[in-house]
Structure 1
């Protein structure tokens, strides 16, 4: 069964979603929460493959920001639920690559199609990919450039969104230097990071690559040698 989590603070909507999921034998509800703190905790605890996320959930962070945070920690898919479809909200939501965007009130047929799309997307991205990527780094590591997946000895290594962006950038320029300027503008286009943020990201990626491949070119940038 496909594990699903509901993040919704309207009780009636949440109950309708729960009843629908429970009526479908292919899905299993692993958590139903009404706030962002519980959503973050349950996502890490249960690792749902599909998350039904209310955009305007109560709290300091809205559903879009929370989806971005969750997506950096686990492999999952998002279906947004909202009563709003203004351009700014839609553009923010699209940056997190949701599978569907359902406007309230939605019907059961729309919900079922969205769930099928989400589960199929999860399967294609995280379960049905080749266990050897199209770019070989060495005998152990490879990279699936289509789905931005790092693979070690046939097993997927979880990367955060920015780790994926950095690795993809380095691999596209393999054996050539990527300048600090180009790296920062590619990964943080809206707000340039400080030096510590940049170095921390590189360090995290190095650890996941078992300290192989990435070379620092002092005061200039980085190069991946493969």
Structure 2
């Protein structure tokens, strides 16, 4: 029973496909519509190959030198996690984000 549950969990991520050239994300052959910032966040995390990307790196990649409050950052992370049903995107409080399983 445990083996089939873990296999089933891993199959969830196989339903996702990301084209890094076009920066388009698909779930079961359906495109997931991401905002520009959601797409940037997903892309930088995807490129890290399953390692956490530090928040200061994410902030600079998305907003550059512009000051952004914590609420804005949390909102962006929340929206992306929600669109991905909390499956392949992970946030570790204050440390960073990662994409895993693709």
Same fold judged by TM-score > 0.5?
A: yes
CA distance in 1, matches of 2:18, 2:51: 17
Q: How far does the alpha carbon of each residue in 1:13-71 deviate from its partner, in whole angstroms, 9 at most, with x for none? A: xxxxxxxxxxxxxxxxxxxxxxxxxxxxxxxxxxxxxxxxxxxxxxxxxxxxxxxxxxx
**Corresponding residue for residue 98 of structure 2:** 223
TM-score (norm 2): 0.80
CA distance in 1, matches of 2:97, 2:80: 12
2:77–2:91 Cα contact (<8 Å) kept: no
The answer on 1:213 being equivalent to 2:88 is yes
TM-score (norm 1): 0.38
2:17–2:25 Cα contact (<8 Å) kept: yes
- Structure 2 portions without partners, runs of 5+: 1-11
1:185–1:192 Cα contact (<8 Å) kept: no
Shift of 1:218: 2.6
CA distance in 1, matches of 2:66, 2:75: 16
**Corresponding residue for residue 153 of structure 1:** 28
CA distance in 2, matches of 1:159, 1:222: 17
C-alpha RMSD of matched pairs (Å): 1.5
Judging by fraction of residues, say which structure has more helix: 2
CA distance in 1, matches of 2:21, 2:85: 23
Question: How many residues align structurally?
Answer: 90
Q: Which has the higher contact order (CA 8 A, sep 6+)?
A: 2
The answer on 1:172 being equivalent to 2:31 is no
- Structure 1 portions without partners, runs of 5+: 1-136
